[in-house]
Amino acid sequence: MNTLIFPTAQNAVEKIAQELQLYSRQNRAVHISLSGGSTPKLLFKTLAQAPYITGINWANLHFWWGDDRMVPPHDPESNYGEVQKLLFDHIQISTENIHRIRGEDDVEQELARFSQELTACVPNQQFDWIILGMGTDGHTASLFPHQTDFADPNLAVIAKHPESGQLRISKTAKLLEQAKRITYLVTGSSKADILREIQTTSAENLPYPAAKIKAKNGITEWYLDKDAAKLLD
């Protein structure tokens, strides 16, 4: 594991915010994929404050999501809705730069539309930076243990939460692995055991998508806070 350990989750998201600021200065469209979950909320709140709110050239950043639940944007379960409320409502950014999964629409129709948008907008379907989380079960995006097809040739897939049955749309492992850079942002002591397992066990012997999905021709790294990293060597 290529790992950076931070004293707190806030320190980790500050690092990501600083790097987003650097990406925004590249004078081109930069395609960023965001994660849901509690720690990214810290990131969005941070980005909506000084110095980032005015220091980032938002016009150059295009935002996508690794996955989203098939719920309307105003639903608390919507990953897009959280970013809209915590960040987009507070910055100057074109709607053309926001590539959300339309969770309020029919799932099959939205899968087709979203896949077409990925093909049309992302050069070579290669993201500049994909930020992923990890569940305590080792899932990432909405790719769950024992039900992920790592060879799926498509760009996106309909996924079903193994316990609740809730439908989601997720990027496939194939699309994630084409990224120039993947950063797993993982915080909290509840993730410590599984991180230890990932560090000490070959990925091919583990069922966890987060252990297996890596940038095939790019950088894969883990940003952890000290609570998540407490059992690592």
CATH number, domain with residue 96:
3.40.50.1360
Ranges under pLDDT 70 in the chain: none
Q: Confirm whether 202 is domain-assigned.
A: no
Residue 1, pLDDT score: 82
Q: How much is the pTM?
A: 0.97
Residue 37, pLDDT score: 87
Place of tokens 């000084």: 50
Exposure string of 155-182, with b = 16+ CB inside 10 Å and e = fewer, is bbbebeeeeeeeebbbbbbbbbbbbebb
Domain hosting residue 50, numbered range: 10-188
Residue 23, pLDDT score: 98
SS3 23: helix
32-51 pLDDT, tens per residue?
999 998 899 999 999 999 99
Q: Confirm whether 142 is domain-assigned.
A: yes
Q: Confirm whether 155 is domain-assigned.
A: yes
Count structural domains, the chain. Answer: 1
Average pLDDT, the chain: 97
